[in-house]
Structure 1
Amino acid sequence: MRMLMRLVLGLFVLKAVVAGPRFSRQADLDTYDNANYDVDLDNINLENQEIYDYEDGLTIDDPQIEIGTLAPPDYNYPVPEASLEEQEEEEEEEDEELPLTAQLIPQGSGGSGVLMGPDTQKEEGLLPATPETPQEGTGGVEGSVVSSGEPDEPEEPVIDRKGMPTCLLCTCLGGSVYCDDLKLDSVPPLPKDTTHFYARYNRITKINKSDFAFMNKLKRIDLTANEITSVDERAFMGLPELEELVIRENHISQLPALPETMSLIDACHNNIGSKGIHNEAFKDMTSLLYLYLTDNHIDYIPVPLPDSLRSLHLQRNNIQMMHGDTFCNLQDFNYIRNALEDIRLDGNPINLSRTPQAYVCLPRIPIGDLI
């Protein structure tokens, strides 16, 4: 019984090997004729076949078949990879089969591109046509704006300066307030501790008495290059500390009354005429150092002048004559005016050589025509 079981098991193994794909492949490569190689498993003589005892061990000539290590049949055979030359040939064939199509070649940043390809004219409908830029003067798309060639200047924003705090509108540094070039049409309210006020290159047209009221610390006012045509007569008289007033390049015709504390008065480039200066307007200004009245319509030297005066500029006016006691004291020949070193009378229709006695007390002769 034991031997029969072994035989049956051996038959099953043999059938599996014969039916396997590996055995069939090997049989195809063999030189034997498959027609003459016929195994009839049913006519095997079981009695004459030598049955080996597996317990005694297999001989060297016996086929060694291990059932436990027999690999299962492999039905998925790997397809051999094509060689590198074959792959390159296939790629070339694919490239030859691909049709050439029109392509859009970009031309730099923002360009519309150029249509390239053998059938460009036939396939122009594949790509949208680039609209042509209308030429200047030929008209363009309806509703478009045609440039005139010059860029339009941006409109200046309108700023409502009324009611705005002065130190927000202007620049406040310590006691100085700078309101230059802000297109102001009036003097803004100033902090009470202001010492120096600058409002140059604006559009101020008038100075009112209330503009500088109760400004007890104000020392300098500079209103250069405005459009001032009138100044209130008492606009600066309530300033006990005022020393410098610069009101040049305006349109005033009357110089207002000024406090005795003045050290500099600059009213050049205005319309001040013969009646534009008060009689003896500078007599009591014992600290006055600089008096500039250039480019006006004055026809006389505004005497008397304080002894403290160092510089007097009256060029390009209408001064035609000068008295002997304009600068000196004809009754006291020992009187010398040492401070007045700079007198400018050039540009006036006056001959300085006709009044030599008027300069004997001066350290220097005035500048002007001597003929």
Structure 2
Amino acid sequence: MRMLVRLILGLFVLKAVVASPRFSRQADLDSYDSANYDVDLDNSNLENQDIYDYEEGLTIDDPQIEIGTLAPPDYNYPVPEASIEEQEEEEAEEEEMPLKPQLVPQGSGGSGVLMGPDTQKEEGLLPTTPETPQEGTGGVEGSGSSGMPVPGEPDEPDEPVVDRTDMPTCLLCTCLGGSVYCDDLKLDSVPPLPKDTTHFYARYNRITKINKSDFANMNKLKRIDLTANEIKSIDDRAFMGMPQLEELVIRENHISQLPALPETMSLIDASHNNIGTKGIHREAFKDMTSLLYLYLTDNNVDYIPVPLPDSLRSLHLQRNNIQMMHEDTFCNLKDFNYIRNALEDIRLDGNPINLSRTPQAYVCLPRIPIGDLI
């Protein structure tokens, strides 16, 4: 019976819709979706549809209920007023209540560090170097026994202590072929060198003494550079056991005595030391027939160390204490045909000597020395 009633109601609605003039106009314009107003007469579909209640006076011209399946409108469900008020009260309490600085403990007996927004507001960013706390005030920095870093202070790692006593030289230094580089390693003595070492560099260290055993049996060593150490003494025969040694650089130390050197030398640089009157052996350079460069700048030498070999090209003695020169210092007064062609660079500036007083001393030189002529 119910099915029959539903069928009759559907037929009446369909008839009213077809008879309406507005339906014909809207059907021509295709402005409405016909699917929303079609009535399915199939019984299987009618069983699945809900029964709609129509109010009195309802017409198709002014529909209040759309027939069909439409997406429900979005609803903004109101939040209970009580929850909004509680949330506002909680936010107000958080803004009004200041955060007090808290004490962060540093160790068992330390005073700790004050942390919090108040301290940051007053001081701004945490200082990179914390102020030293006054005694009895609590301080910003903990006690010395804490050991914890202060926030904001950059960590400065302690310099690692390296035990270089028994370390192999080529692990401590850099060995490239026959050259050994031990520059700036804070060495306080000459390390044991491989037997095939030809060039040894140990500049900018803390070596204080050169022992005879440091270079013993180094038959292939040709160059030694010990610039800028703290050498105060050198054993007199420390370099005599090297038959191929040619270059020795010991500038910028505290040496007062120049040691004996082999005849194979071609360069000697002992500038910026404390070598004085008795600091050079008598006729120390006479037999060095291959000597090319002799640098004794910024010492306390008070004479030119003659005789000098004919091979010498450059002699630097500036800023010493040389006060006089003999006419046969560079030339041979017995042989006026003698000419020293190799010696082209003589520096005597910065000495209390008047070069114009000994004009015969330069007649065999290609160039006169550099220094005061008045």
TM-score by length of 1: 0.63
* Alpha carbons 1:136, 1:146 under 8 Å: kept: no
SS across alignment from 2:276: coil
1:229-270 CA-to-partner distances (Å, cap 9, x unmatched) read 100011000100000000000111100000000000000000
SS across alignment from 2:143: coil
Q: Which moved more, 1:332-341 or 1:48-57?
A: 48-57
Q: Which moved more, 1:78-87 or 1:239-248?
A: 78-87
The aligned counterpart of 1:318 is 321
Shift of 1:47: 36
- Name the larger-Rg structure: 1
Shift of 1:155: 2.7
Q: Hey, what's the Cα distance between the residues in 2 that align with 1:355 and 1:179? A: 46
Q: 1:139 to 1:314 in 2, by over 3 A?
A: same
* Alpha carbons 1:253, 1:272 under 8 Å: kept: yes
Q: 1:116 to 1:4 in 2, by over 3 A?
A: same
Q: 1:133 to 1:184 in 2, by over 3 A?
A: closer
Q: Hey, what's the Cα distance between the residues in 2 that align with 1:52 and 1:172? A: 100
SS across alignment from 1:120: helix
Q: 1:345 to 1:47 in 2, by over 3 A?
A: closer
Q: Which moved more, 1:154-163 or 1:31-40?
A: 31-40
Q: 1:47 to 1:178 in 2, by over 3 A?
A: closer
Q: 1:341 to 1:108 in 2, by over 3 A?
A: same
Q: 1:80 to 1:114 in 2, by over 3 A?
A: same
Q: Hey, what's the Cα distance between the residues in 1 that align with 2:350 and 2:51? A: 153
* Alpha carbons 1:207, 1:232 under 8 Å: kept: yes
Q: 1:241 to 1:16 in 2, by over 3 A?
A: same
Shift of 1:223: 0.3
> Within 5 A, what are the aligned runs for 1:145-294?
153-294=156-297
Q: 1:15 to 1:159 in 2, by over 3 A?
A: same
Q: Which moved more, 1:297-306 or 1:144-153?
A: 144-153
Q: 1:341 to 1:150 in 2, by over 3 A?
A: farther
SS across alignment from 2:349: coil
* Alpha carbons 2:344, 2:366 under 8 Å: kept: yes
* Alpha carbons 1:286, 1:308 under 8 Å: kept: yes
Q: 1:360 to 1:53 in 2, by over 3 A?
A: closer
Q: 1:131 to 1:34 in 2, by over 3 A?
A: same
| Aligned residues between the structures | 370
Shift of 1:19: 37
TM-score by length of 2: 0.62
Q: Hey, what's the Cα distance between the residues in 2 that align with 1:239 and 1:37? A: 117
Q: Hey, what's the Cα distance between the residues in 2 that align with 1:298 and 1:140? A: 59
Shift of 1:154: 3.6
Q: 1:31 to 1:65 in 2, by over 3 A?
A: closer
Q: Which moved more, 1:328-337 or 1:74-83?
A: 74-83
Q: Hey, what's the Cα distance between the residues in 2 that align with 1:138 and 1:85? A: 45
Q: Hey, what's the Cα distance between the residues in 2 that align with 1:40 and 1:115? A: 80
Q: 1:367 to 1:162 in 2, by over 3 A?
A: same
Q: Hey, what's the Cα distance between the residues in 1 that align with 2:332 and 2:269? A: 27
Structure 2, unaligned stretches of length 5 or more? none
SS across alignment from 1:41: coil
Q: Hey, what's the Cα distance between the residues in 1 that align with 2:218 and 2:294? A: 24
Shift of 1:127: 25
Shift of 1:158: 1.1
| Identical columns (%) | 91
Q: 1:297 to 1:152 in 2, by over 3 A?
A: farther
Shift of 1:157: 1.4
Q: Hey, what's the Cα distance between the residues in 2 that align with 1:54 and 1:141? A: 82
Q: 1:77 to 1:21 in 2, by over 3 A?
A: farther
Q: Hey, what's the Cα distance between the residues in 1 that align with 2:252 and 2:35? A: 133
1:160-196 CA-to-partner distances (Å, cap 9, x unmatched) read 1001000000000000000000000000000000000
Q: Hey, what's the Cα distance between the residues in 1 that align with 2:45 and 2:369? A: 161
Q: 1:63 to 1:106 in 2, by over 3 A?
A: same
